[in-house]
Amino acid sequence: MTEEKKKPEQSGSEKKGLGRRDFLQGLATVPVLGAFALALSRDLSYERKRKAQAFSHARKRTGDVKEVKIALLGAGAQGQVLMDACLKLPGVRFTAVCDIWTEYNQRRAARMLDKFGHRVNAYEDYRELLAEEKGLDGVLIATPDFWHAEQTVACLEAGLNVYCEKEMSNTLEGARKMVEAARRTGKLLQIGHQRRSNPRYLHCYEKLIRETGLLGRITSARGQWNRAVQEDLGWPQRYEIPESVLHKYGFNSMHQFRNWRWYRGLGGGPIVDLGSHQIDIFSWFLGANPAAVIANGGTDYYAKTTHEWHDTVMAVYEYETRDGIVRAAYQTLTTNSSEGYFENFLGDQGTLHISESAGRGGVYREPQAPQWDEWVRQGYLLAPEKAGQATRADAVLDVRETIAPDRHDIPVIFNDPYHMPHLENFFDAIRGEADLTCPAETGYETAVAVLKVNASIEAGRRLVFDPREFHI
């Protein structure tokens, strides 16, 4: 693998040109000085920028950005996140919202959008929305997973482009129908694995792994998402949804409606809600789908009656990459938040530590690996913080351990809402100005990889993927 990678250019040689397209694709190629300047300017102009963004909707019509008209299905917590991000993007106009919790989620979304100058029609049933709303360009779907397939297929067949939150469906059958509908209609279907559009992740994949092979031969990967203990979500009694409405939309109680992620048949549990994002990164960065997985898990802490999916999951994937086997361990805990969430890629030349959280991340050179000075000079990495030195007089160097590596920062700063670039990619694709970073087929491959974890737990053994499973 490494011989195909770009070699560091020598000092004095012609520097690599950094094109406008690269810059626009998420600042992935900003050279180090540019990154510093960008960071500095962002800090200095933070207040001004934030306030300017708040008024961006007023500028939408005056800019040269083609307006995209959208509707939101599902105005709960994730729908709110998507709305917040969209309101910071020029040229996006909400015209309708849909949520079955009419007295709370729906009312809140409609009023909020109204205060930002988006006059929207509000619906309880998405079918009514599709029948009434004309002139839509796209739909954002942030409803519970078990609604994704039906709603996505209906929207695509109504001629609309769709951004659907992950997991694209709670069943592979549903996910398959979504892919087929996208192909049949020729409409866009973006799946909400938003890291695929994150400039930091793009830089790490494009520059550090694919272009330079900085990590050497990747032999293993590790990821986790640990969360502290949480109580079940409640609801204001005065805004309770009538039982008949809950039943109409597939919920047997208000508790189940509010905590659907834990219920079989509705969601997939934390491995799907959280792990899906990071297992997607495993496959993306390794350039392969997994060959096998073995997993263990269970509902060990919470009540099984209300937490039908596992609160604790540990899985080990095997990837057969063109450079050899890579074993990738993943865990999600919902009883302890230690070390939060991240993904690690470990190669014989270095380690990449990355997280969606901007406060985490770094690249570590193995002591025996060639120096990375030239990559630093070219802006692929920031200069290292020296490590490996004992700082305490009484500290003892354990000769059985390899000396600690230097830590390099990733030279791309990203402080915007996490979903903003992914949504922007979707809207740009609608305008014909970009290709989707996570089209239906990619989302399907990730769904195959992720849903097999729960299957392995149920089976109590290692499960092998047939490569044909990933393709439709």
CB nearer to another protein: pick between 20 and 238: 238
357-396 residues near another protein, rule: CB under 8 A = 357-359
Outline where 169-274 has alpha helix (H). Answer: 172-185, 199-203, 243-248, 254-258, 270-273
- Say how far apart CA 121 and CA 112 lie, in whole Å: 12
Q: Quick one: which of 415, 462, 464, 467 contacts another protein (CB under 8 A)?
A: 415
- Core vs surface per residue 386-416: b (16+ CB within 10 A) or e: eeeeeeeeeeeeeeeeeeebbbbbbbbbbeb
Q: What is 256-282 written as a DSSP string?
A: HHHTGGGSBTTB--HHHHTHHHHHHHH
Amino acid identity of residue 255, one-letter, is H
Q: Is 46 in the site for another protein (CB under 8 A)?
A: yes
Residue 42 neighbours by CB distance under 10 Å: 13
Q: Is 253 in the site for another protein (CB under 8 A)?
A: no
Q: Is 58 in the site for another protein (CB under 8 A)?
A: no
Q: Quick one: which of 51, 322, 392, 468 contacts another protein (CB under 8 A)?
A: 51
DSSP state letter for 385: B
CB nearer to another protein: pick between 297 and 361: 361
The least CB distance from residue 353 to another protein, in Å, is 17
CB nearer to another protein: pick between 418 and 465: 418
Residue bearing tokens 């970073």: 437
CB nearer to another protein: pick between 104 and 465: 104
CB nearer to another protein: pick between 102 and 296: 102
Q: Quick one: which of 40, 54, 455, 459 contacts another protein (CB under 8 A)?
A: 54
Q: Quick one: which of 199, 347, 362, 417 contacts another protein (CB under 8 A)?
A: 417
CB nearer to another protein: pick between 371 and 415: 415
60-79 residues near another protein, rule: CB under 8 A = 77
- Say how far apart CA 175 and CA 150 lie, in whole Å: 10
24-43 residues near another protein, rule: CB under 8 A = 42-43
Sign of the Cα torsion 345, 292, 447, 341 reads negative
CB nearer to another protein: pick between 51 and 392: 51
Q: Quick one: which of 137, 145, 165, 356 contacts another protein (CB under 8 A)?
A: 356
86-115 residues near another protein, rule: CB under 8 A = 87, 104, 107-108, 111-112, 115
- Say how far apart CA 159 and CA 137 lie, in whole Å: 8
CA angle, corner 252, sides to 333 and 239, nearest 5? 90
The least CB distance from residue 84 to another protein, in Å, is 4
Q: Which two tokens stand for residue 361?
A: 């991340």
- Say how far apart CA 32 and CA 377 lie, in whole Å: 8
The least CB distance from residue 194 to another protein, in Å, is 11
316-355 residues near another protein, rule: CB under 8 A = none
- Say how far apart CA 198 and CA 285 lie, in whole Å: 13
Q: Quick one: which of 1, 418, 431, 469 contacts another protein (CB under 8 A)?
A: 418
Q: Which two tokens stand for residue 464?
A: 């092998």
- Say how far apart CA 227 and CA 338 lie, in whole Å: 8
Q: Quick one: which of 239, 242, 247, 336 contacts another protein (CB under 8 A)?
A: 239
Binding mask 207-236 for another protein (x = CB under 8 A): --------------------xx-xx-xxxx
- Residue 261: phi and psi, rounded to 5, are -60, -25
The least CB distance from residue 216 to another protein, in Å, is 30
CB nearer to another protein: pick between 88 and 365: 88
Q: Which residues contact 25 (CB under 8 A, 6 or more apart)?
A: 199, 202
Q: Quick one: which of 201, 345, 414, 470 contacts another protein (CB under 8 A)?
A: 414
Q: Give the binding site for another protein (CB under 8 A).
A: 42-43, 46-48, 50-51, 53-54, 77, 84, 87, 104, 107-108, 111-112, 115-116, 227-228, 230-231, 233-239, 356-359, 414-418
